[in-house]
Amino acid sequence: MLYKLNLEHILFLDIETVPQQQHFTDLDETAQLLWEQKTQYQRKEEFTPEEFYDRAGIWAEFGKIVCISVGYFKIQGDLRTFRTTSFYGDETKILKDFKQLLTGYFSSVKHLLCAHNGKEFDFPYIARRMIINGINLPYKLDLFGKKPWEIPHLDTMELWKFGDYKHYTSLKLLAHILGIPSPKEDMDGGMVKDVFYKEKDIDRIINYCELDVVTTAQVFLRLRNEELLSDDEIKKV
């Protein structure tokens, strides 16, 4: 079934998120209490709510999106390119611009969204942040009433599970074992908060996010046993 999908009908994506505020003490008292309650199980007695706040970007209720990067294939005869672009800045604008892309170019039944761990993280996170920001969900993210086979989402981590639902594999590990050249990343996900709030270097975050989009597309190609993208085929637009 995977081999039958048209690559040009798939939008690959990745998001980068940070805590709503730079510091735990910047939250109002209600938010601090709710954070304490929300993370009680994860923290146990090892961390205080304030010490654990660096991880707040993981939860859509306490985090926000600072970058959405996307990539898509264009195939003309023997010429194949993979084009990437990013949305960043004010979160509401990020979400509206991303929605405009979906509704304008990837809204047909044939179109699919693909991300690594997207079903557990990227897709629901974007949908929740849209609701919080007062944005109506586009069709591709509105799953209410849809049957499982009608949900237009692909997930490279889920594809690698082959039904083994307790199995988690990071994008970096999957790329390594599949022989995908590792991009020269100067950061990892745990650094995004500091790069955003302290260094204020959004370009560095965008580059990191786009590299993950390219890697996700490369993994998808390997799952179809197809030739990997060369550097010349990857275009930033």
What are the pLDDT digits (tens) for 108-156? 999 999 999 999 999 999 999 999 999 999 999 999 999 988 899 999 9
pLDDT of residue 183 exceeding 70: no
Mean pLDDT of the chain: 95
**Residue 200 buriedness (CB in 10 A; 0-12 / 13-18 / 19+):** exposed
Closest CA to 81 of 72, 93, 91, 90: 72
Tens digits of per-residue pLDDT, 53-109? 999 999 999 999 999 999 999 999 999 999 999 999 999 999 999 999 999 999 999
- 65, 124 Cβ separation under 8 angstroms: no
Q: How far apart (Å, rounded) are the C-alpha atoms in residues 127 and 15?
A: 12
Q: Band the pLDDT of 189: cuts 50, 70, 90.
A: confident
Q: Crossing angle of helices 91-105/122-132, nearest 10°?
A: 120
